[in-house]
Structure 1
Amino acid sequence: MKYEKPTINRVDFALASKYGSPLKTQRIKSEIDGVDVHELTEKFGSPLFVFSQRVIEEKYKEFKEEFTSRYPEVEFWWSYKTNYLDAICKIYHKLGSKAEVVSEFEYQKARRLGIEGKDIIFNGPYKPKDALKVAVKEGAKIHIDHWYEINDLEEIADELGMEIPVAIRCNMDTGVYPAWSRFGFNIDNGEAYDAVKRIYEGKKLILTGLHSHIGTFMLSAEAYKNETKKLIQLKNRVEKDFGYEIEYIDVGGGFASKNRLKGVYQAPEVVVPTAEEYAEAITSAIYEYNEGKLPKLYLETGRALIDEAGYLLTTVFASKRLPDGKKSYIVDAGVNLLYTAFWYNFNIFLDKRYEGLNEPSQINGPLCMNIDVIAENITLPPLDRGSVLTIWPVGAYNITQSMQFIRYRPRAVLIDTNGTPHLIREADDLDYVVEKEVLPEYLK
């Protein structure tokens, strides 16, 4: 048995619950969809992103059923910024989702995957005019974010000699604070109506849709009811005043996953609304306030569909005792891969049961940065070098926000519905990292 210098640490017994004492509780996950975590790291390396196609399909079908059982015309548009790995996007497109993008880069990625322009929503506050022109030519749905974009689109309309169908993005008070007021035109102060009037008077654009994205990780279904109510009321007014036919309203995304937001102390099962609750809030508001023909309902659901399908496997490299007595475990995955660790307390599972009592610990990544902390306060038993930890859920935003900083970005694997793992992203290497660098002649 290895010797370790004894320490005295204060343990808060108030943490004990009906599930037992934190001194003995161990959360274990030795496999993902039937594939052993050690088998995965031995074959593909560590750290390793792992995605479950089974979970992706289950979550998609859950949300689709809840909305389509309540409303006649519902369309899902996969949010590329949430996770734009080709394999992930392809699954959602095969399931029936179209594409929602917020940059020319994402637009090009969707087109590369075979998505036609007419099946792309082009969103975002920064749309270079050249990119806008391409999207207009290809029939994409343009969601206008600001006054300058109206001017740009009118100039494009003149250049192409055509009227351009557009939607406007709106923001509003939904009862959740802080409100996302940075994007689009405000409904409450009349700015959104003024934008529609400006479009109408310009006679070069045709308003066909209204859109809003009220926030991210929204824990209030009621906020979506308030959002939908205001969008529908604006629809009714502009149809009456300007003769437009609003074909669709887009309520955006932002539905929460079963992740644990920092500062929220109740379990996700308690505070996160269900797909049913989100669907009921949105569709009931349409039925209650709509006048005239029912519009199509668009959803840009991202996080709630993919987050719980994503795992990150990481291996314990070393451990040390910090000056305050807390145990620090150094693993091979850091905040360069888990940017969202600054907002969420991930669930962390062990690969097997370990002997010994839990003690106050923290998990640090491999970066030479003091902020590289995956879990600041966690009770863990004595772990061995080589222990594999599973971090979950990490399917949303971590791939797209991961960065090559100090360490290379790792591989990503998709486990299909038959339990077979497939490589869907190769790891970075030096050639990849320096490919775009140019060394001036005088420095050679």
Structure 2
Amino acid sequence: MNAAEIREQFPILSETINGHPLVYLDSAATSQKPRQVIDAVARYYEHDNANVHRGVHTLGSRATDAYEGARVKVARFLNAPSEQQIIFTRGTTTALNLVATGYARTVCGEGDEIVITPMEHHSNLIPWQQAAKATGATLKYMPLQPDGTIDLEDVRATVTSRTKVVAITYASNVLGVINPVQAIGEIAHEVGAVLVVDGAQSTPHMKIDVQALGCDFYAFSGHKMCGPTGIGVLYGKRELLEAMEPIEYGGEMIDFVDLHESTWKELPWKFEGGTPIIAGAVGLAAAIDFLEEIGLDAIDRHESQLVAYAYDRLSAMEGISIYGPREGRVGLVTFNLADVHPHDVATVLDTYGIAVRAGHHCCQPLMRWLEVSATARASFYLYNTESDVDALVDALRHTKEFFGHAAG
């Protein structure tokens, strides 16, 4: 499909906002949903809605087949060795909390180390803060280069024989930088530590192979990759998942329950207590089909060209500061307009129908590292085109003029 054909698959992109055609540049927060995903979720509720794993009736069987079929599809999408290593969660946040609580709190102790970076989203920072506090471990940070990238020599200097966990985002939701997670994982494994990868910003945009990456855990969300909200995935190496204890207890995750003791089901169900996110899994499977039909490599190429075009156009504007390197980034550009608060920038852009993000992007430590309180962010996806970038640049010129006149 070409860009025009892809855009036609997304009903919301025909919306008019404040009298202007919608230009949606906030996909790093959540992507829009194609008709195929919307229809798949509606079809499930209209024809197959039932609880899974419990009923022997026809609807229960169809719902179970759809839910477990989605798990198989996710395993193939990630090149995981087995669908039993795919845990459905509410999203990246839940998946990372599961690892920090179910794994890190059992292997870390006084004097051990958990290593992360200052660029982490709060979802990949706060769980490790809490794990360190609970276990007496030390939370350490890899330093960043001036452009926000990571030098592997700094990784080697930070990771020691006391390090038990290295947790890092594959792609920063602010800097856009793509981190060398495979090489970082090799350094972690040299000292016996595990590598936890936050894949929220990478999975929608590039081909992921967890075996090639060598990661021990990998987490991502469906809603950033054309799927529904409320569904996410944790991949883990089998031996680690089998050794972990669940952190949520109740129905469906049990094998045998007595008055004083209980045992758990095998993988992956011991981590999926209660009624799971069935419709979300169905929608995620449909999203994977949609993305694979277009091709993750094609999406990667399209976004690389688009973000380079956006970076060049924005950097040519007087008064614009851009954060992160030009090369080696996913499809987003984070910036500030001199002397104008990013919330004001986003508000004015919205009057032109342009949706961007403004704020600290759940990265307050990174904002302090950048020495700003907040930024604006334009993030792109497979349905965006150069005309969207042009509309952003034109609207930013009007924004500059508006605040220039207001200041005058």
Per the TM superposition, whether the score is higher than 0.5 is no
What is the TM-score normalised by the length of structure 1?
A: 0.30
Q: Pick the structure with greater CA Rg.
A: 1
Greater share of strand residues, 1 or 2? 1
Q: Which structure has greater helix proportion? A: 2
Q: TM-score, normalised by structure 2?
A: 0.32
